[in-house]
Structure 1
Amino acid sequence: MNYETLYEKITSSLITDGYIVIEDALSKYLISELLTTAKQSQNFQQAGISASNQKHIDENRRRDQIAWLDEDGSCVSEYLSFINGLREYLNRSLYLGLSYYEAHFARYKEGNFYEKHLDAFKNFKNRVVTTVLYLNEDWSEEDGGELLIYDKADNVIETVIPHANTLVVFMSEEFPHAVEPAKKDRYSIAGWFRVDKR
């Protein structure tokens, strides 16, 4: 599938606004397959908060569970192929020097949340561009779990309902964000383009 138009749209928005929210971003079939894969995963672990290799659990700040993505020769590989194309396009267009991408499935069970935070760790030049792809079918505003995106003045500038096939891309160092408590299981893929070495 040719994603050049989508890559161009994302790149232009990163230049002008620093972020973009795109509904119906990818194929419905791919989203459905990714959701099935996430639900079947046996690798979910409680997420931590740390820039180091030592995991620090703080359930007062975040309560989601994560399962890191690896090539699977199927839907995950298809998604990662799309993402790698975006990485190459961003590097050609914006000279960001993005060296690799890391991502995980995120599962928020009922009541789970993530307080306001930045994806780029302080004093670490690593995560440059954040991506979030939502996988939730039949999600309504009453189900909670919204992504709140803030500006540097602490104002909410975007409230994203985590509908299936909604893609959010933003500059990691510029936009604090939070996840409101979910009222039922909520699935997404969170990922980061990085400039450091693996």
Structure 2
Amino acid sequence: MIGFVAWDSDEIATFRARWPVGTPARAACELPYWTAARTNDAVMIGPGNIGPDGILTFLQSKTGGRAYVPWPNPLPEFAEGCADEREAVKAASTGTGQTFLAVASRPRSVKGLGNLIADYARAAGIKDRSAHGLRKALLTAIAEAGGTSHAIMAWGGHSSLSEVEHYTKAVQVRRHVGRERGRNVVSPQRG
């Protein structure tokens, strides 16, 4: 995967240990991670994006693809072990306005969110990680947990299967040379 580097599970665990639920840093990290939203979309996600079916849905501003993220609805089989993680994400996303990441009842700025995540990561001792790396981490974790290309496409809001192939291809290559088996989405220790 070229470009931004995906956070690994140790980095996510380190971040969570440094920034507990209830801090702006934790909210800034958790929502883009769980939703796999780019910063320009994450700053706009709020309670109005949750449908009566319990699925958080939003339109990707970059691709126009619609993303579907489990919120209170039952988790897909590959993510069943992540119920506690999802509850932590919901607890961390406490914006009281129209968006979960609202600051003073206004959406957080796109650039501000990206800079905050990088700054908070550095303060936790994590270097060279970005908000987009959180997106990549979640989509990679879905592939590692046995989620299909269609599952990654739906959760990430991709508009074509070719856009998600690099996630599943990398996992399949590793499985061909190792003893790795499908597993649930990574759920590092929460602080």
More strand by share: 1
Q: State the structure with bigger RCO (CA 8 A, min sep 6), 1 or 2.
A: 2
Q: Do they superpose with TM above 0.5?
A: no
Q: Taking structure 2 as the reference length, what is the TM-score of the superposition?
A: 0.27
Q: Taking structure 1 as the reference length, what is the TM-score of the superposition?
A: 0.26
More helix by share: 2
